[in-house]
Amino acid sequence: MDWGNILELSMRELIGVQAIVFALAAIGINVQFGYTGLLNFGQAAFAAVGGYGIAVIVTTYDMSFWLGLVVAIAGAIVLALLLGIPTLRLRADYLAIVTIAASEIVRLVGRSASGREVFGGSDGITGFSNTFYDFNPFTEPVSFGPFEFRERVLWVLAVGWVLVALCTLTVWLLMRSPWGRVLKGIREDEDAVRSLGKNVYAYKMQSLVIGGVMGALAGVVYSLFQGAMQPDVYATNFTFFAYAILILGGAATVFGPVLGAAIVWFAFQFIDLALRGAIQQGYIPDWLMDSNDTGAVRFMLTGVVLVLLLVFRPQGILGDRREIALDAR
C-alpha cells in the first residue's frame, strides 16, 4: 500500500471544494442552531436556491452572472422569510418540521418534469459558470510541494476559502457583539430575553436569514465547481451532513464548522483509500467486503466516530467542556 499517496490524496480533501461547501453550510447552521438554537433542517434548500439562482438566471434566462449571484442571495433571503414568518413565533419544533419539508419541496420542484423548461428537471442545468472561470487569474497548474492543482480547481479553492474566511470573520465579529449576545440569550431562554425588552422574533429572523445566505453561498460554490446544478445533490442528507460536521467541530464556536468540514472530508478520503488499498493487497478478504463497499463503509465508520465523539467529547473538538457540564445540572 502506498501510504504516501493515500495521505497526499487525503490531504487535498482537507482543503478541497467539498470541505469549503460544507464549511459554508455548517457556518450558516452554526449561526442558526449553534448560537440561536434554531433548528433549520432545510439548509439543503438554501444551498439549492443558491445554485439555482445562478443557473436559472444565466442559462435559462440568458442574463448576467452577477444578476445570478444577486438572485441566489435574494432567493435565500426570501426563502428564510417564507419559512420564518409563520414559524418563528411558535415553538422551536415547528421550524424544524417546516424546514425539512421545504427542503424536499425545493428539490422535488427543481427536478419535476413540469418545471423542466426552467430548472432542467432531474438532469439539472449546465453552462452557467463561464463568466466565473473567465476571471480565473491562474493560467496553468500550480504546485505546492507534492500537491499540484489544476487552474480551474485552484480558482474555486481560492474564491471558496476567501468566502469561508469572510463568513468566519462575520460570525466572529457578530458573536462578540451585543447582537450576538442577544442570539445566545435566545438560545438559552427566549422568554427571559423578551422580558428584557428584546424583539426576539426579529433576532431569530435575522439569524435565519444570515445562516440561509451562507447556505446559498455553499450551493453557489458547489455549482460553479461542478459546472452543473443538480437538484439531487441537495437532498436532506446534505443538511444532516452539515449538522454532523458542525457538531464534530464544535457548535457555537467560531472555527468549529470549518475544522469539522476539513476533518470529515479528509477522513472520508483517507478511509476510502486505505480500505481500497487493503482490499487490493488482500488484507481484507473478499467475502468481508470488496472495493464497491468502501463508500458505504466509510459512512459507517464516520458514524462510529461521531458516536464515540458524542460520548467522550460531547462539546465537539473546539467546544467548551464546561458548557456541556451545565446541561447536566
Partner 1 sequence: MPADDDQRTPTSLTAKREAAVAALAGVPREPGAKKPDPILIADDVKRHFGGLLAVDVDHVEVQRGSITALIGPNGAGKTTFFNLLTGFDRPNSGSWSFNGRSLHGTPPFKVARAGMVRTFQLTKALSKLTVIENMRLGATGQRGETFWRALLPFTWRAQEREITGRAEDLLARFKLDTKRDDFAGSLSGGQRKLLEMARALMVGPELVMLDEPMAGVNPALTQSLLEHVSNLREQGMTVLFVEHDMDMVRDIADWVVVMGQGKILAEGPPDAVMSDHKVIDAYLGAHHDQSLAELEEQLESGTLAEQVAAELGQEPAETVVPERAAETGDGR
Task: List contacts with partner 1 (CB under 8 A).
Answer: 170, 173-174, 176-182, 184-185, 187-189, 191-200, 206, 210, 322-323, 326-327, 329
For the bound state, the minimum distance from the C-beta of residue 206 to partner 1, rounded and expressed in Å, comes to: 6
**SS3 for 138-188, per residue?**
CCCCEEECCEEECHHHHHHHHHHHHHHHHHHHHHHHHHCCHHHHHHHHHHH
Is the torsion defined by CA of 303, 304, 308, 309 positive or negative?
Answer: negative
Are residues 205 and 81 in contact, defined by beta-carbon separation less than 8 angstroms? yes
Phi/psi for 129 (5° steps) reads -100, 5
Q: Which CB, 62 or 191, lies closer to partner 1?
A: 191
Task: Single out the residue of 91, 87, 93, 49 nearest to residue 71, CA to CA.
Answer: 49
Q: Which is nearer to partner 1, 192 or 304 (CB)?
A: 192
What's the CA angle centered on 257, arms 252 and 262, to 5 degrees?
A: 155
Minimum gap (Å) between residue 174 Cβ and partner 1 = 5
Beta strands at 147-149 and 142-144: parallel, antiparallel or unpaired: antiparallel
For residue 209, give the amino acid letter: V
DSSP H helices in 227-281: 236-249, 256-280
**Cα dihedral sign for 126, 22, 148, 268?**
negative
Instruction: Pick the closer one to partner 1 by CB: 82 or 196.
Output: 196
Q: Which is nearer to partner 1, 125 or 213 (CB)?
A: 213
CB-nearer residue toward partner 1: 210 or 279: 210
Residue 34: CB atoms within 10 Å: 29
193 Cα distance to chain centroid: 29
Cell of 79: 426563502
Cβ 314 vs Cβ 250: under 8 Å: no
Smallest separation, CB 36 to partner 1 (Å): 13
Least distance CB 318 / partner 1 (angstroms): 15
Cα-only R_g, the chain: 21
We find the least distance from the C-beta atom of residue 113 to partner 1, in angstroms, to be: 41
In the complex, minimum distance from the CB of residue 215 to partner 1, in angstroms, rounded to a whole number: 18
CB of 162 vs partner 1, minimal distance in Å: 17
Nearer to partner 1, 113 or 326 (CB): 326
Smallest gap from residue 165 Cβ to partner 1 (A) = 15
Nearest CB to partner 1, comparing residues 206 and 230: 206
Nearer to partner 1, 111 or 204 (CB): 204
